[in-house]
Amino acid sequence: MPELPEVETMVRGIRPVMDRAKILELRACPCDRKPLSISPIQPEFFERVRGCSIDSVERLAKRVVLRLSSDDVIVFEPRMTGLVLVSDPPSVEHLRFEFRLSLNKLRHSVWIWDRRGLGTFRLFTKEEFENALGGYALGPDALQISAKDLHHRLGKTQRSIKVALLDQKLVAGVGNLYASEILHEAKIHPQTVASKLSLKRVQRIHTAMNRILLEAITYEGSTLSDGTYRNALNHDGSYQSKHRVYSKEGTTCVSCNVSKIRRIVQTQRSTFFCPRCQRK
């Protein structure tokens, strides 16, 4: 968390004030918490971006990407608790960086915020970006991959389908929360071996993946009980009200109204499913 819908919401929230804006200054905010991983070191990073225009604001899997007029590329990966904000932050002490921008003769700021300091902030040359995140570094985006390609990729792994969906080299953008929700809607048990899934069953996963991710974007992502995820205006997402299984262990499944939602652990992550709707 954040996953594809949350990062897409971030990108849509900052695009109106960052796209085509000029970076007057990038500065580090006073913070005594665990620092974000930043590369290159701050003086070089800040100097290279100063005076550049932002040519585009994009999402790459679960990353925010800013392409600059210099052909350099800024990549922010929020990981567990990172946010990009155009409004007041949830807390001042967790502010990390401030973009001071000029757009249409108006000046404004965009902030990078991270409560736990697990995010990464990178500046790449165009070539470095392609080497690090292009080609085969990431799989196809979850909203762009075809059902046939997804079936082909899943057919190469003996891992369980839930674990396979989290592999960003297989399909990019899906994380722990949405994987549980997708498999529930597709009626696929999370421990099913990925390579044993028929094309028809993968098509169900593909359909569920597109519907759920797009709906979650419409609702501006999911803000969980810890309240960490916020959109660019520092408001909660609202897709959590649509969750059917995630973090609902012991509650009655809203799909069948019979079984209780179960929780298991796969690769040290919680998986939630209905044993009646998702038969093994």
Compute how many other C-beta atoms are within 10 angstroms of the C-beta atom of residue 236: 15
Residue corresponding to tokens 């155009």 = 86
pLDDT digits (tens, 9 = 90+) for 263-278: 999 999 999 999 999 9
Predicted TM-score (pTM) of this structure: 0.96
Q: Residue 88 has what pLDDT?
A: 84
Positions marked active-site: 2-3, 62, 269
Q: Residue 260 has what pLDDT?
A: 98
Instruction: Report the mean per-residue pLDDT for the chain.
Output: 96
Low pLDDT (below 50) residues in the chain? none
Q: Residue 136 has what pLDDT?
A: 86
pLDDT digits (tens, 9 = 90+) for 26-45: 999 999 999 999 999 999 99
Q: Residue 244 has what pLDDT?
A: 98
Q: Which domains does the chain have, with CATH numbers?
A: 4-133 (3.20.190.10), 147-243 (1.10.8.50)
